[in-house]
Amino acid sequence: MTTTEHLAFLSEDPIRPNLEENLAHIRALEEGSSDLMVNPITVGGISCVLLNCEGMIATSIITNLIFWPLAAIKEQFSDGPALLAYLQQYYLLSTDRIRIENYADLFRTLNSGFAVLIVQGASFAYAFGVQGYDRRSVSEPSDAVNLYGAKDAFTETIRSNMSLLRRRMKSPLYVQKLIVCGSVSRTDLCLCYLRDRVPQDLIDRIQHTLEHAPIETVMASGYLRPYLEQKSSRLFHGTGISERPDAVCAKMLEGRVAVLIDNTPFALIIPQLFCEPFQTIDDYNGKPAYATLIRLLKYTAFLLSILLPAFYLAIAVWHPYLLDQTLLSLLAESEQSAPFSLLAETLGVLLMYEIIREAGLRLPKAVGGAVSIVGGLIIGDAAVSSGFISTPLLTVAALAVTAGFVIPELHQQITLLRLAFVITGAVLGLGGIGLLGAAVIYNLCATEVFGFPITAPAVPFSLRAMRDVITRIGFRRLSQGNFTVEEVRQHDKS
């Protein structure tokens, strides 16, 4: 039986009324997991068992909220359902109470840190939220660093993340909807949206896609992205990720849907337009003119990062007349003693940077600094001094790589495109760069997520949204007549 079939079977396997039979069945399904804790208790004359996973619950909470109140019940009950009805009506026990009717839900709640009470004679059970597993506290975001924005970031616990968003969106129109994904992991996902800005059909489509994604486990947000984006051949993502609750709220105000994933500190945002990685929260904390300048700088840095080495190569090899005489003399002189071709040098330098960057990322912090010294100073300086690599090329490559760090979210695409453009520039010159550029633009223009083209609001053009793309107009005007992404959604198929 496959995992999916097994799960489907468990979903239709109801809780047995006989307690012993229940326990035997549970132990058989668990196949001797050592962390299953079985606590028999008699409440009101009825035999009950409280199940929980070791290490997942808070002992003090379960003692105070469950054990003591249950032990204090003096009334006698005729059967299990009567006891459960009494508990439901007169005892809170926990604010998070879920009625369990089949074994699939039983195991899901059990493994989520709930305590499950099964009662003799009842064909259903109750799960109580008494989670007490170790969790990371809310800290500063690791990647999306801002100067003036909030300093809290998502954690691995979905409930904490939901509270971080709820604190910022107190409107009753804000909806947080829990669903489950992953045939093995049964990971909790939370769809977050403002119901007056997102059409129901979009929510239904996203929910259907996530619930029926043929995936066993969701270990990271990247696991779900291919199912949401649907076309793997697209270069740029149509969905975004963010570690910042303030950024996610800002996106939701524009009619986007956020997906929180349990055990992942990154939320998915649907859709993400191409211009969004160039926007940060700090843009809205400063003056519009400065924000506009920084945005222009980012777009320039993006283009420089992708195209500068390719232009250098294409012009030096195929179009030297485009260079100034002085610059050309400098270039020719520096290349005079280099033993390799310009293409080989460029690829070598770029790959060397990637190796150093990857090594610095993976090494422990104590050793990481040494990599920078060895890689940057020794290798770079030695390579130039020995004549392997020319100084202008190293400068160009360094500038391109540094410019790429300005937009970390597009780092993968920048790296791939930079290499591709270098090769086409070396082989076909500026015409080759134009050809590849056209293919990239095509790929970009064809990228749509749930009908949202990521090239919006440039194409299709929306004047209201363009106020916040390259330029950033004043916040007073920006907050009037809010733009929602629904305006650019394509409803016709082609």
Partner 1 sequence: MKILRSFDLFCILLCTVFLSGCTEVRDRAYISSLAVHNEEDCLGTLRDSDNETAFAAKADTPVLLLDALQIETQKVLYTGHLSLIMLSGDIITALQDFLSGQWLAPSCRVLYTTENAALLLAQRNTDYAAQLQAAVQIGALPLRDAAVIAGDLECGTGLTAVPCLQGDTLCLSLWDSQQQIAMLSEAACRGLALMGDHWKTFRFAAKGADGKPYAVSVLRSSTEISCSQGENTLQIQLKLHAACKPESYEHKAWQTAAEQTLNAFLTAAMQETAAQGADLCCLIERIARDGCAPYTSPTQAQWQELLRTADYSVSVSVEEQK
Partner 2 sequence: MTNHSTSASGQQMTGTIAILLLCRFLRLICSTMPFSTNYLLGTLAAAAFQTLLLLPLMLKPVFQLRSPIWRWGYALFTLVAASHLLSRIYALLQNLQAAYPMASVILCIAAAAYGLTLSKRATGRAAILLLGILAAGLLMQILSALPHANLLLLYTPNTAYQDGDAFAEGFLQGAELALLPLCCLPYADAVQKRRSLMGKWLIGQLTLTLPVILLGILHNSRLLHWKGNPFFLLLARTQMFQAVHSDGFWQLLLMACSVVCVTFFLQIIWSPLPESHPTPILSLLTGALLFGVTILFIMGNPPMIYQILVILLFGFVIPLIFFRSDKRSAERNST
Neighbour tally for 249: CB within 10 Å: 19
Q: Which residue lies nearer to partner 1 by CB, 176 or 334?
A: 334
Q: Smallest distance from the beta carbon of 437 to partner 1, in angstroms?
A: 14
Q: C-beta of 453: minimal distance to partner 2 in Å?
A: 7
Q: Does 338 participate in binding partner 1 (rule CB under 8 A)?
A: yes
Q: Does 325 bind partner 1 (CB under 8 A)?
A: yes
Q: Does 494 bind partner 1 (CB under 8 A)?
A: no
Taking the complex as a whole, the smallest distance from the CB of residue 30 to partner 2 amounts, in Å, to 46
CA distance 21 to 122: 12
Report residue 78 as tokens.
């005729």
327 versus 445: smaller Cβ distance to partner 1? 327
| Pure H helices in 375-457 | 380-386, 391-404, 411-446
| Burial class for 247, CB neighbours closer than 10 Å (0-12, 13-18, 19+) | buried
Q: Does 268 help bind partner 1 (rule: CB under 8 A)? A: no
Please give the residues from 144 up to 163 whose contact with partner 2 meets the rule CB under 8 A. Answer: none
CB nearer to partner 2: pick between 128 and 274? 274
Asked whether position 433 contacts partner 1 by CB under 8 A, the answer is no
Which positions from 417 through 446 interact with partner 2, judged by CB under 8 A?
427-435, 437-439, 441-443, 445-446
Based on CB atoms, which residue is closest to partner 1, 338 or 398?
Answer: 338
Tell me which long-range contacts 90-99 makes (C-beta under 8 A, separation of at least 24): 93/65, 93/66, 93/69, 93/128, 94/65, 94/66, 94/128, 94/129, 94/130, 95/129, 96/128, 96/129, 97/126, 97/127, 97/128, 97/129, 98/126, 98/127, 98/129, 99/124, 99/125, 99/126, 99/127
Within 10 Å of residue 109's Cβ, how many Cβ atoms? 22
| Of the candidate residues 79, 156, 282, 335, the single one contacting partner 1 (CB under 8 A) | 335
CA pair distance 475, 461, nearest whole angstrom: 21
Taking CB under 8 A as the rule, does residue 363 contact partner 2? no
CA distance 292 to 283: 8
Helix and strand tally (H, E) in the chain? 19, 12
Q: Does residue number 447 form part of the binding site for partner 1 (CB under 8 A)?
A: no
Q: How far is the CB of 414 from partner 1 (least distance, A)?
A: 19
State yes or no: residue 471 binds partner 2 (CB under 8 A).
no
Q: Which is closer to partner 2, CB of 282 or CB of 487?
A: 487
The reply on whether position 31 binds partner 2 by CB under 8 A is no
The footprint of partner 1 (CB under 8 A) covers 233, 316-318, 320-321, 325, 328-329, 331-332, 335-336, 338, 341-343, 423-424, 426-428
